[in-house]
């Protein structure tokens, strides 16, 4: 389908294009012409640069933006630790359990008692944000809007937000974004924002990227279009608040090295009147993904479903990929159509936004749940899916109707937190026993005339056996 039919109408305007150089002004003339930092910016604004990469990064990967605001972001009190005993989302600092077992979680609970900041739970991760290496995988569940006099940012990494339930109304320094199920949102490291919940509790998933930036995957022989097309990504238009009277106390919350810090200021943090650059938040409607697949035989690698990728320093290997499995047609001939059984050098964390995933028909993989198949942990279709697909009539069929599954894939070995493994109480203890242990042996050795089996011994130990055919 060309786009998602949302029940909640859009209420904001956006600029279109991924990786495009955007500019926006809420007041005409607020953007300077011909230079970035005039001696006296228009309307008495301050110039501020937000750097997402080093100044000397190659031009093709350099991401910076210029902001023109009523007061600069530096105008606040010193940051002080907040909730030091309870808030820690640094994978390197919390106890991670590295285990090879396949894991699956029941749907995570909604939590009406907390806001966005306190609704974040680190489930799994790898690396350390203090050295800008690795990823964090979060579940979020919140029922309260953030305070009107607050803002939050992560100094640790870029948030890729996958909403499963509810609606997020996000006010960023660059302008507002409305996020509905089947839409994702990317908020770069350091960007300040406030999350409002206009339609009640929300729930979903977050991939925090500690290193590099998300990019569209190269298409190679596919050509110049399909998968996620650049024009379908939407960036906010400038919009600002005007509260600088000094009578209101605002709180700036910072996630720094996984810990929570707070600073105060007497002016709104959302006072950017104009901006231009390449470093900004954006959103994308997953319904606009143009799916590619085989139209002859065999099931292609799931990399053909990659929406965004964060490459490592090794070509073709990602620190993180964001992959989706949308509704699509299957027409392959003489082919086992679900994903094949496999062991992967990449770690695979899957979630389900709604509907049913075609490789799991037993009902154990549910919307708002998740699964983790770590490095080289064997997995694939469960027994019922295998039996059904092995005998299905191979006529053209559309799968995944009304469904949307996704995967966070990483070249890193992903550890699981104590919250994810025990405290959440959502791990399915019988996942393996239900999915793969019941698989039946279908092997039938072809019979040959006069064939016998001879068991041989070598060095005093029994050999596994050698098949010997007699003439």
Positions marked active-site: 299
In terms of C-beta distances under 8 Å and separation of at least 24 residues, what long-range contacts does 287-290 make, across chains too?
Answer: 287/1, 287/2, 287/3, 287/4, 287/5, 287/182, 287/326, 288/2, 288/3, 288/4, 288/228, 288/229, 288/232, 289/227, 289/228, 289/324, 289/326, 290/225, 290/226, 290/227, 290/228, 290/229
Question: 88 is written with which tokens?
Answer: 């820690």
Closest CA to 141 of 112, 168, 170: 112
d(CA 95, CA 417): 6
Contact 178/12 with Cβ under 8 angstroms? yes
Three-state DSSP state, 103: strand
Q: Is 165 annotated as a binding residue?
A: no
d(CA 235, CA 277): 11
Closest CA to 350 of 170, 207, 184: 207
Residue 100 vs residues 170, 250, 413: alpha-carbon distances, Å: 37, 45, 10
d(CA 242, CA 70): 8
Q: Is 22 annotated as a binding residue?
A: no
d(CA 436, CA 448): 32
d(CA 73, CA 90): 25
Closest CA to 178 of 190, 192, 166: 166
Three-state DSSP state, 97: strand
Main-chain dihedrals φ then ψ at residue 303, nearest 5 degrees: -60, -20
Q: Is 379 annotated as a binding residue?
A: yes
Question: Binding site for Fe cation, residues?
Answer: 342, 348, 379
Question: Binding site for homogentisate, residues?
Answer: 357, 379
Question: Binding site, residues?
Answer: 342, 348, 357, 379
């Amino acid at each position: 389908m060309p786009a998602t039919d949302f029940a909640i109408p859009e209420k904001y305007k956006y600029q279109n294009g991924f990786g495009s150089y955007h500019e926006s002004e809420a007041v005409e003339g607020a953007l300077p012409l011909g230079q970035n930092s005039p001696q006296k910016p228009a309307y008495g604004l301050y110039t501020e640069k937000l750097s997402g990469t080093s100044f000397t990064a190659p031009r093709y990967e350099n991401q910076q933006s210029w902001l023109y605001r009523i007061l600069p972001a530096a105008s606040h009190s010193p940051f002080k630790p907040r909730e030091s005993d309870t808030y820690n989302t640094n994978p390197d600092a919390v106890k991670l359990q590295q285990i090879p077992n396949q894991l699956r979680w029941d749907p995570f609970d909604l939590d009406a008692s907390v806001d966005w900041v306190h609704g974040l739970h680190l489930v799994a991760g790898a690396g350390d944000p203090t050295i800008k290496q690795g990823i964090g995988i979060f579940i979020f569940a919140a029922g309260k809007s953030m305070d009107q006099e607050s803002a939050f940012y992560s100094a640790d990494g870029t948030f890729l937000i996958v909403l499963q339930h509810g609606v997020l109304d996000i006010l960023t320094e660059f302008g507002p974004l409305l996020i509905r199920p089947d839409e994702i949102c990317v908020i770069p490291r350091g960007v300040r924002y406030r999350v409002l919940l206009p339609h009640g509790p929300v729930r979903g998933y977050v991939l925090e990227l500690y290193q590099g930036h998300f990019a569209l995957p190269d298409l190679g022989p596919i050509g110049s279009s399909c998968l996620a097309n650049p024009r379908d990504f939407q960036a906010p238009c400038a919009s600002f608040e005007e509260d600088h009277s000094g009578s209101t106390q605002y709180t700036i919350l910072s996630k720094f090295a996984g810990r929570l810090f707070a600073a105060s200021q007497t002016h709104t943090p959302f006072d950017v009147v104009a901006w231009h650059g390449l470093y900004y938040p954006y959103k994308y409607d997953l319904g606009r993904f143009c799916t590619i697949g085989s139209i002859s035989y065999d099931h292609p690698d799931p990399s053909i479903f990659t929406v965004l990728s964060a490459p490592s320093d090794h070509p073709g290997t990602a620190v993180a990929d964001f992959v989706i499995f949308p509704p699509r047609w299957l027409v392959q001939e003489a082919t086992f159509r679900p994903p094949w059984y496999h062991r992967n050098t990449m770690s695979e964390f899957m979630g389900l936004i709604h509907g049913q995933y075609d490789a799991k028909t037993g009902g154990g993989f549910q919307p708002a749940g998740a699964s983790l198949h770590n490095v080289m942990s064997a997995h694939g279709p469960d027994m019922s899916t295998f039996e059904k697909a092995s005998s299905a009539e191979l006529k053209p069929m559309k799968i995944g109707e009304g469904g949307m599954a996704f995967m966070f894939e990483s070249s890193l070995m992903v550890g699981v937190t104590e919250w994810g493994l025990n405290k959440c109480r959502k791990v399915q203890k019988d996942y393996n026993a239900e999915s793969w242990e019941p698989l039946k042996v279908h092997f039938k050795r072809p019979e040959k005339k006069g064939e016998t089996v001879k068991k041989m011994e070598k060095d005093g130990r029994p050999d596994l056996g050698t098949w010997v055919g007699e003439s």
